[in-house]
Structure 1
């Protein structure tokens, strides 16, 4: 047989097929070919002592094996921009998870979404003092939603992701030698670079699948409760259609109601830029304090079958490795839950007023509030993965608060609360909605009194301590300290 000419995909002269395959797979750091032959023989390969299934490594196509291994290595290795977590793989995995039944948004669907968002802007003008944003509406496929939001998911999960990926890698490196047959232990040296990145790869896959699953449930750009896609008015027609299945509500009413919610949230975030910053700050404060339960990760790693690559992914799926939050984390989560509840409660009250012309408004309100309060399967999976629950647990109490404030002080007062974070209701106000106004007025009087005293002090309106002492000394000597009193003492 004539050997093929040397070239980029050809074995070099003197290399047998197995040596060339290993060179392509591992570069110069792979296992020794003879060691691999002995290992394969011990596992029942051709010519081995174990007999069994015929297997001759010399029959392997090195070009094909090299290409397969290059793809595997590309999956296992993060780019320099990725860091410890394979974010590139996370994005690819999210797109693949969202790809099923994800039709391209057609012209007719885009027009329907555009009309619903425009009508929502008009109706909201009569229900809130927050002005329209002037943003153009967009209709997205699930894949487009993934692309528009992936950078935000990275920002929100990166501290947790880095800790998790490093913990997974350590556990895999510690557990793998004890689970690989003794005959193949020598191969682990060539796998070390891959094992180093294995945790980042596994977490990237899991996060991507979680985001991809969310993409199959979300109805709009702000559906998770904050603008994960930035300041973009957007809706996902295919998910809206699935959401409406079985509701026995006309499609146009569903679109308009959901458009009202999307527009209301976006007005809030555009006109109160501090709100978005506070949300992200609370999430980042929580994530920065996350620690990983290494015992659970090591238990998962022990269940891996090295001969079954899928077992690696299965071992780390559906299990939470993040313990219960403590200390500052709890405070951050409570602040986050309260803020999300206030946002959703305000949106609920405003949209209820704006949606009055819709016959199905009440039914849609109950359906949406129940959905937001309980969360869907994908939302729970995402929360389990990163330990972050984005549900507004006290939505109904928040809605009652905004209704009470509006009834007592009017729409302008109610919406003006979003001007500054210092005016924001607290968990105490959710417990006692009717007391918000009086508590705020008390704080404002106290603050005004302090401001008056500060201005008086800066203007020299207060005597210093030494001046007061001087007056006391003069009074002790008799008289008011004037010249006549001084003279009488001679």
Structure 2
């Protein structure tokens, strides 16, 4: 027995109707996830009342219950992992061949030699790895889940709170025949918790899909400017490097070397500036935790929805516009600091890698421009993460930052340029990106003011101690 969409002729099985009523536009991904876990579609339909084999029904119900109950937190990481692996393998995920591995590792070795002439920061050390897309997913997915968790927490809680108030007391009566047994124990008694679990699974699917898609676009670990692993490490994905090189005039060896230079420059920066990774992640977290869901807009979107009507609920979830995210003054300040920091990282890497490449790679400047445009435009996966994390991770002012780093090196040398990273308080500001030529003068003024403060503090302490050097009386 099947049911039809209202106003349409497409037959829909009862279990599919349930998933579509909850997941909305992500139902196809949920159904694909069930199938990927070995779900027997005919058997699942049997669980909805089409067949009578108790053993088969028990098996299918256990599988669906596992999907809804595994994992914890705002992002269902089990679902994210499985979906990401599937997305990474879509269209093929060839294993790394011996020749590819040797070429990538050789490129890293050459890159470190060339970088020694372009920066005072020493090689990062750590491991050099050559990965398939699936291997990249395995190592980086925890970081993506962590980045998305603050936004996911707010969205899932708001969805469960608003829709939970509109669920009927007779939850079992709104479900297709036999489907109540699929849900985790106690779910019908606490429908808001069930909605939160479903929202967590939905968010896990979105994270997994985006990470899997991104694995077919990235070249290494630092394409987005934020390091995705804590330890010193450089990585290349030969399949993506080779696909990228196919559309360029530059030969593959040059493209590989230029990308290895960028990856190695990133690794040097984050290894020898130990506060930088925590600084960026802290800004991201502070911004994301400040996001508030427009509950009134969400309430308006579902006010006239009958939760027992799967098609009304599906349409409401498909709209998505009720997740109105506004910015507070504090968030705007945090966002400005984050965008400036990301631009400074990208600009430094751009300047250092290109400076190192120019004497050796004939296509260094065209490759530089290609990477600039690629980072400025982003791809579909990056746009998805902009929604999941709450903001774009692309540096908006990397060209200005590169010009500033170049000017500092020309005026004061590489050592002074790289020493700007010694402390976050020394970092250039948005004003410095607007006016690179005035950076040195502003920095000198700031240094003089700090020196005056230091002298005043020393004088105060000396006076407090007294002429004889003894401590003053309380």
8 Å contact from structure 2 (residues 297, 324) kept in 1: no
Q: 1:157 to 1:446 in 2, by over 3 A?
A: same
Counterpart residue number, 1:234: 235
- Give how far 1:206 is off: 1.2
8 Å contact from structure 1 (residues 166, 200) kept in 2: no
In structure 1, the gaps of 5 or more residues are 1-54, 465-490
Which whole-Å deviations, capped at 9, do the CAs of 1:29-51 have from their partners, x for residues lacking one?
xxxxxxxxxxxxxxxxxxxxxxx
8 Å contact from structure 2 (residues 273, 421) kept in 1: yes
- Tell me the SS of whatever aligns to 2:73: coil
Residue 447 (structure 2) aligned to one of 433, 444, 448 = 444
User: Is the aligned partner of 1:345 residue 2:347?
Assistant: yes
Cα distance in 2 for partners of 1:314, 1:255 equals: 47
Q: 1:378 to 1:197 in 2, by over 3 A?
A: same
- Give how far 1:185 is off: 9.0
8 Å contact from structure 1 (residues 244, 254) kept in 2: yes
- Tell me the SS of whatever aligns to 2:235: strand
CA RMSD of superposed structures (Å): 3.2
- Give how far 1:112 is off: 1.1
- Give how far 1:135 is off: 2.3
- Tell me the SS of whatever aligns to 2:248: coil
- Tell me the SS of whatever aligns to 1:392: coil
Counterpart residue number, 1:387: 390
Cα distance in 1 for partners of 2:459, 2:143 equals: 48
8 Å contact from structure 1 (residues 85, 161) kept in 2: yes
Counterpart residue number, 1:94: 84
- Give how far 1:179 is off: 13
In structure 2, the gaps of 5 or more residues are 1-46, 181-185, 468-474
- TM-score normalized by the length of structure 2: 0.78
Residue 75 (structure 2) aligned to one of 67, 85, 93 = 85
- Give how far 1:454 is off: 2.3
- Tell me the SS of whatever aligns to 1:233: strand
Q: 1:292 to 1:88 in 2, by over 3 A?
A: same
Cα distance in 2 for partners of 1:395, 1:183 equals: 54
- Tell me the SS of whatever aligns to 2:463: coil
Counterpart residue number, 1:243: 244
Q: 1:73 to 1:194 in 2, by over 3 A?
A: farther
Counterpart residue number, 1:360: 363
Cα distance in 2 for partners of 1:96, 1:209 equals: 8
Counterpart residue number, 1:145: 136
- Tell me the SS of whatever aligns to 1:460: helix
Higher-Rg structure is: 1
Counterpart residue number, 1:414: 417
User: Is the aligned partner of 1:74 residue 2:75?
Assistant: no
- Tell me the SS of whatever aligns to 2:327: coil
Cα distance in 2 for partners of 1:295, 1:352 equals: 50
Question: More relative contact order in 1 or in 2 (CA 8 Å, sep 6+)?
Answer: 2
Counterpart residue number, 2:10: none
Residue 398 (structure 1) aligned to one of 401, 410, 414 = 401
Cα distance in 1 for partners of 2:67, 2:270 equals: 38
Q: 1:296 to 1:90 in 2, by over 3 A?
A: farther
Q: 1:212 to 1:314 in 2, by over 3 A?
A: farther
